[in-house]
Structure 1
């Protein structure tokens, strides 16, 4: 699964993404978050609320590996978000370019209990 964030990213958009992953039973799949051209627009309170929501998801189902391409700005907010995402029992790496992120991610299996269609 690939998520591309371009421009401002808000709390509501990230909640919608987490909800879509939950509703689609997709947490166990490999995920690439490409936010290299994004800018987080959240308050620290919103970051904490998102963290609570993400932790609940981590407890509900196995998490697949995740590669994240992140911008060089938003240090405090990104550090808090990464801390929350890193709590899940899964491989996680941060990248600056898509090629190496995809290569690493595709070399890993998805989480146990996920189903993948290989063509």
Structure 2
């Protein structure tokens, strides 16, 4: 169990960041594409600020590497959003693509680095 614990905190940050980013972007989508009130932008901006804050909590030597690894989590989370919020079931190609991205994110984030 102790070997799993170092991965839970970054995973929580990444999942939280993905939720806030997707939610914030969806607020803009709702305003521009679904003709919702401009008031949707207020929680959207708050959510995007929370996304940025959570992404800075990732313990990585370089921001670009943390962002690159986040990309895989974002893709998988977007498909969950598609399924749970928008009611559209992802197909097998969506699942395969997300799995490939998550493997890539793991390689980027967890690969041993020389000093």
Q: Could you state the TM-score of these two structures normalised by the residue count of structure 1?
A: 0.34
Give the number of the structure whose residues are more often helix, by fraction: 2
Give the number of the structure whose residues are more often strand, by fraction: 1
Comparing both chains, which one has the higher relative contact order based on Cα–Cα distances under 8 Å and sequence gaps of 6 or more?
1
Which is higher, the Rg of structure 1 or of structure 2?
2
Q: Could you state the TM-score of these two structures normalised by the residue count of structure 2?
A: 0.35
